[in-house]
Amino acid sequence: MDIGVVLQCTPPASRVVELARQAETHGFSHVWTFDSHLLWQEPYVIYSQILAATRKVVVGPMVTNPSTRDWTVTASTFATLNDMFGNRTICGIGRGDSAVRTLGGKPATLATLREAIEVIRELGNGRSARVDDTIVRFPWASASRLEVWVAGYGPRALELTGEVADGFILQLADPDITAWTIARVRAAAEQAGRDPGSVKICVAAPAYVTDGSAAAMAHAREQCRWFGGMVGNHVADIVAKYGTDGDIPHALTDYIAGRRGYDYNEHGQAGNTHAEFVPDAIVDRFCLIGTPDEQVARLHELEKLGVDQFAVYLQHDAKTATLEAYGESVLPRLAHPVTATEGAE
């Protein structure tokens, strides 16, 4: 299993680049960032610096959207970075959240998302694409290679992912929900005539390594509770569309009953006020909190479900410590299955 990291482009940009460099040093395979240009600094500029400061990590947004960025410019950016630094970029994309809503907009339709995926991927791989009534191609990008991974939760978004995406991004680490979403994605891929195993699976969530004490666990939960609020903001849209009586897991929908809106000024921040409704049980299921043994056990559980990459959201007060703990105590143990003895330590 690959291990990636998800960063915010919070000033100064040099700090973001340094965290990316540290992540590669500790064995992380991917460096993802938020893409919300009003809340944080411009990620695509920072990608160039990250790639220059590293040798192997793959870099890209988790996630961009079809609305705030021209599709051809997005593809050109990735193809240019690939030409400069080798094929080390990846495009995570969704319907649009903070980047769109802070401008007063709404998420793109799935039809628009599907069209954007096609244009970005074809151009990013040096092939021609149709944009409205025009066929376009980058004549200089024949060697560029770009995968497009799609983030989503709802049934229709999961079907779209299975039909067209190179990878699927699930922004939570609950094993039951992970199994449900993977099954939906793979079923859609098979129905579309694709090899279900060709769609790579990425689970992304905060990880906070503790010594297992009650005090440390309580502090870690408070640092990661924001994530349940962020996920709940997406889930609220799903509940509004599908209700709570369908086949969507209740573990995904029930906990938002106490939700009271969302403030994007606190998006992705530890200690934000709009995540107070998120119970400890959800924090524990959605995130990876605990000792290295507990982290490894959950990662092996996710791996058995078919997860190819776990991406660590690094939005808390232990950024460097988490990178170090994963590099020293977690990543080296992912090459072999966890044993019952290890899990009990």
pLDDT in tens, 82-101: 999 999 999 999 997 777 77
Element (H, E) at 180: helix 175-191
Residue 339 predicted with pLDDT over 50: no
Instruction: Say what percent of the chain tops pLDDT 90.
Output: 75
Q: For 172, list phi and psi in degrees, rounded to 5.
A: 180, 160
The per-residue pLDDT of the chain, averaged, comes to: 90
User: With 0-12 CB in 10 A as exposed, 13-18 as middle and 19+ as buried, what is 261?
Assistant: exposed
Q: Which residue has the tokens 């940009």?
A: 13
Strand partners for 167:
149, 200
DSSP letters spanning 204-263: EEEEEE--S-HHHHHHHHHHHHHHHHHHHHHHHHHHHHH-SSSSS-HHHHGGGGG-----
What per-residue confidence (pLDDT) applies to 268?
57
Considering the entire predicted model, what is its pTM?
0.90
Tell whether the model's pLDDT for residue 338 goes beyond 60: no
pLDDT for residue 345:
35
pLDDT tens sequence across 96-121: 777 777 778 888 999 999 999 999 99
Has residue 341 got a pLDDT over 70? no
The tokens for 288 are 């990876």
Give the confidence band of 171 by pLDDT, cuts at 50, 70, 90: very high
